[in-house]
Structure 1
């Protein structure tokens, strides 16, 4: 995850790894590099590791390639946990504060999952559903809301919310025009799938995700409450933890629109623990309304890049735009060249 970056850019990367470890008070950089895998995949380590690696790559781009984020980036967004990296890149959170926040959030989420399993038994987690088309997905989402007794995503006053959190099923992510993710009790999710097949005529392909934590569900309510408290506490220097405005607009996972105020940012960032990640809506907004043509994903994986490429109809570079992912030093060089090559094509065509 970070070893190739350390080998290629030691003067930039080594101090960042030291900063990560000193901020968290644990040798996370060693766990990232050497494992063991059980330690790295634990929620309290995996989440800060993923976020930290994303920002490490961004810092390499800035310091080794002369990439000036406020001048070269029009908007930032990140999928689920990636929202924290997007907020750091956009100038709303410091890397130091984001690391500590993500670690505390992950620790509470891990406890939520453990408590649910201990108190109720059974399995909890997430299941991805894949439909044949956008129309089928819209019908499927409607059928899910009807079965759950909800009128729409994030409804707060419907009958389903009277159930204990451990009995609720949520739509955790709307990832694309034909993929969503359910979160909650696996038994309840299976019951929902059975009812959708028998009474709704829906039989989407479904895949159990590796995560055994029901992220973006009511079971994560304690994490939301912790985040609200943390976001309104002053930093160690006595300052507000959020810088407003930032240097680059940032898209909220919850609203699928740019954050409008400091208070809204704090509210929506906390709600992101339990609310649906509206990734598809976010990408459509940027593609169709803001006419974004160049997309760059940074981090240890390419899921976000692949979802964007699928939705906007671009994989790699096209004339005047493209969708790229940076997970390695080699890709960093290639993408920086591609960005330079496509920098002014749209402007030249308009002339």
Structure 2
């Protein structure tokens, strides 16, 4: 594939920068992807710990020692009020994802560097992807995720105290052929200055401005983040004046992730990344949530990973880029829940040629079936798992 063709078209029609960190002639056949916030549940590591005690015990001991707190007990026993706290739920999800990957490697001989061509993660999952790809050490990434989550929780509390508003996230679901015009209408109604990368003083903006398209997840789903009252007002405007009537679903989050309110978290990440050892280039490309393209340098990684706190997660663009432009046929989702696997499957559809498929691994009972499917030659037809 010539380098000139390795571009991704953004959701607004602009052309993003070309991929340049690895061979531009290489077809990326297998992608490893990880879930983001909201997939946590009490006991999500228990079945893995019971089935694979040797690998799990050493990993859990490392996790708790790294954070200096018994996170494993919170994951295993709760209560929900404790696990649901952002500073606990986010490192729990990230750690559970990496535990599953370690079990694959150590118990089943899965060679990540040989079997996987590219990694990516949805929002929080980007940190798991960077660990899997060899960019970040697990312990360093876990500490950053915990610290970032603590700052995010503080941002949410300060915003509520200052304005008296409720904050959170609302998913909008529409017909696929209406998505582009829905996004355009939302951006027209919102202050254009609030939808860019204003991550310095933007956390001081009024709640009316503090709304952002936090995620573009698939061909018919986006997520708004910010003041719930402002989001409700925006929905009224869309229905009365914008010609759109999307189905709105309030998400289980009282934090407005990927919005200007999270500016202090972006600043925190810049500081932490400057003090963290980053391997670049690493063993495989990793796709950024912000650019929907692979990171191109160590500085690019620091910049985009920081901005991810306040900018839109372009998951749909990322999947389309790998599916349509880089030839990915095998998609392996690792981590709690099935949300990530469903979002990928929605975009790439049924893959029935050249050993392709979309798999989600969140339970030990799924391992052997998935490993058998992955052992099939790439030229052999298989169905999606």
Fold equivalence (TM over 0.5)? yes
Q: 1:335 to 1:229 in 2, by over 3 A?
A: same
- Whether 1:99 aligns to 2:142 is yes
The 3-state SS of whatever aligns with 1:192 is helix
Indicate the residue corresponding to 1:78 in structure 2.
121
Q: 1:342 to 1:172 in 2, by over 3 A?
A: farther
Indicate the residue corresponding to 2:100 in structure 1.
57
The 3-state SS of whatever aligns with 1:214 is coil
Structure having the larger proportion of residues in helix: 1
The 3-state SS of whatever aligns with 1:76 is strand
Deviation (angstroms), 1:71: 0.5
Contact 1:145/1:151, CA 8 A, preserved across alignment: no
Q: What does 1:1-351 align with in structure 2 at a 5 Å threshold?
A: 1-133=44-176, 135-150=177-192, 154=196, 164=205, 166-167=207-208, 168-233=210-275, 240-314=276-350, 320-345=355-380
CA distance in 2, matches of 1:250, 1:278: 14
The 3-state SS of whatever aligns with 1:77 is strand
TM-score normalized by structure 1? Answer: 0.92
> Which stretches in structure 2 are left out of the alignment for 5+ residues?
1-43
TM-score normalized by structure 2? Answer: 0.84
Deviation (angstroms), 1:148: 0.9
Contact 1:321/1:342, CA 8 A, preserved across alignment: no
CA distance in 2, matches of 1:225, 1:166: 20
Deviation (angstroms), 1:344: 4.8
Contact 2:287/2:294, CA 8 A, preserved across alignment: yes
> Which stretches in structure 1 are left out of the alignment for 5+ residues?
234-239, 347-351
Q: After the TM superposition, which segments of 4 or more aligned residues of structure 1 sit over 4 Å from their partners? A: none
CA distance in 2, matches of 1:247, 1:319: 24
Q: 1:194 to 1:58 in 2, by over 3 A?
A: same
The 3-state SS of whatever aligns with 2:119 is coil
- Larger RCO: Structure 1 or Structure 2 (Cα < 8 Å, ≥ 6 residues apart)? 2
Which whole-Å deviations, capped at 9, do the CAs of 1:28-62 have from their partners, x for residues lacking one? 00110111111111100000000000000000000
Paired residues, number: 335
